Structure 1
Amino acid sequence: MHITITGNLGSGKSTVCKILRDQHGFEIYSTGTVQRELAREMNITTLEMNRLMCSDPKYDNMIDDATARISRENRHKNIIFDSRLAWHFVEQSFKVFLSVSLDVAAERVMNDNRGKEEKYTSLEEAKKLLAARAETEDKRYKELYGLDYFNFSNYNLVIDSTCTTPDNIAVVILEEAKKFDEAMKKREVFEPGNQGINTILLSPQILYPGEITKEDIEHTAGLVKLRQENPEKRKQEILVKKIKNELNIIEGKENVIAAIIAKEPFVPVILK
């Protein structure tokens, strides 16, 4: 089984990969490590490294070629590719995107020891530089490969790490990957032009960041109880539309509020 994991900066990709390695025997291939090492050797920040890569594709080509080669030569192994674009270069994989809110991502990188090339003096600086780096990478991927990196339809599983633990994320990824692997064996996926399974699990707090009122609690009391007693009710998908990078609930607001009250880590959504 090959799993490719990418996502927002600070979403916890590397931590989740280590859990899958330590608890389930996967090998890890990380291109983020290669990129940070290159930045360190050149005595520049990772943001500066990304800008340099915009004008010199040899670094991208080096990483891409290595990723494709490893996937071809090790199809018999269970491997996790902790890589921005492995989902595009690995021929057959379960494609995972980890999302996270910018506020939580900034807090994580502030508390994480990533070397002098990723040092931040404040939370606001971390948010600003993380957003700038994501914008730079998105632009570069479109120019070099014609890829829309943040288009969730590219992935088999999108899962939000804002309000849950890496252990919970790892459990869901492995469960969904096994389902995907069974479908692959039955030739239900990997048909030309078919992405196969596409599941989006987002934190309800991301969808409804406002304050939960007394009226909300009273109005959804029955639904909360129903969701707690019947886990199948938690699978009811919520219709969401992205407007100017903001997620707006089109249908299912009551389910989102009920999920927040019931302390559910994420809810399944459909992006319109």
Structure 2
Amino acid sequence: MIITIGGLAGTGTTTAAQVLSKKLDIPFLSTGSIFRDMAKEKGMSVLEFSKFAENNTEIDNEIDKRQAEIAKISDNLIVEGRLSAYFIDADLKIWMYAPFEIRANRICDREIKSFETASQEIKIREESEASRYLDIHNIDINNFDIYDLMLNTNRFNPDSIANIILTTLKVI
């Protein structure tokens, strides 16, 4: 079974993928981790690397290629990434969302930043990503037609989110 989980920063996609991975006993792959690793390799922050990636389509293409290749040879895998649903033939494609303030609070807690700093960085990063996705892949990140399940993570903890996904898997 192949599952993709996408969502904007701070929606809990990575945490949900980790919990679901343990519950299903299948591996997960985070494209965000690939992106962050690539940023570190270049000696840049995620924000700097995101800006750098705007002018370097090879970065996005490499991330897309890596995740697609891994999924293609896997029988069971959870792939977490904003565009994963577009590049992977999955049994279930999930999009997670939450209000902006909730996402910003989660990020400032996780990265030990002020709310103002986290909010500003989210806005810059999301504008950069939306522009890149449209330019490189002709994908509108705000078009959710490709997804089988839309999940507002505002009121649910990671375990509850995983249980909602497990319940969905029982009916497909």
Coarse TM-score class (shorter-chain normalised): over 0.9
SS in 2 for 1:43: coil
The correspondence of residues 250-269 of structure 1 with structure 2, limited to 5 A, is none
Distance in 2 (CA, whole Å) between partners of 1:66 and 1:45 is 21
Task: Report % sequence identity.
Answer: 30
Greater relative CO (CA pairs within 8 A, separation 6+): 2
In structure 1, the residue matched to 2:3 is: 3
Distance in 1 (CA, whole Å) between partners of 2:121 and 2:81 is 20
> Which residue type is aligned with residue 137 of structure 2?
Y
1:177 Cα deviation after fit? 2.9
**Maintained 8 Å contact 1:87/1:93:** no
> Which residue type is aligned with residue 161 of structure 2?
I
1:20 Cα deviation after fit? 1.0
SS in 2 for 1:152: coil
2:87 is matched with which residue: 89, 92, 96? 89
In structure 2, the residue matched to 1:15 is: 15
Distance in 2 (CA, whole Å) between partners of 1:177 and 1:89 is 21
1:43 Cα deviation after fit? 2.5
- Once superposed, what is the RMSD of the aligned Cα atoms? 1.4
**Maintained 8 Å contact 1:30/1:82:** yes
SS in 1 for 2:141: coil
Answering whether residue 126 of structure 2 is matched by residue 134 of structure 1, we say yes
Distance in 2 (CA, whole Å) between partners of 1:69 and 1:79 is 12
In structure 1, the residue matched to 2:71 is: 71
Q: Deviation above 3 Å: which 4+ runs of structure 1?
A: none
Distance in 1 (CA, whole Å) between partners of 2:115 and 2:58 is 33
1:42 Cα deviation after fit? 2.2
In structure 1, the residue matched to 2:141 is: 149
1:92 Cα deviation after fit? 3.2
**Maintained 8 Å contact 1:31/1:63:** yes
**Maintained 8 Å contact 1:25/1:78:** no
In structure 1, the residue matched to 2:41 is: 41
Distance in 2 (CA, whole Å) between partners of 1:93 and 1:60 is 23
The correspondence of residues 230-241 of structure 1 with structure 2, limited to 5 A, is none
Distance in 2 (CA, whole Å) between partners of 1:160 and 1:19 is 17
> Which residue type is aligned with residue 133 of structure 1?
R
SS in 2 for 1:153: coil
1:65 Cα deviation after fit? 1.1
Unaligned runs of 5+ in 2: none
In structure 1, the residue matched to 2:155 is: 163
Aligned length: 172
1:99 is matched with which residue: 97, 100, 109? 97
The correspondence of residues 98-117 of structure 1 with structure 2, limited to 5 A, is 98-113=96-111
**Maintained 8 Å contact 2:32/2:81:** yes
TM-score, normalising length: structure 2:
0.93
Unaligned runs of 5+ in 1: 114-118, 181-272
> Which residue type is aligned with residue 88 of structure 2?
V
Distance in 2 (CA, whole Å) between partners of 1:8 and 1:36 is 15
In structure 1, the residue matched to 2:167 is: 175
> Which residue type is aligned with residue 25 of structure 1?
D
> Which residue type is aligned with residue 158 of structure 1?
M
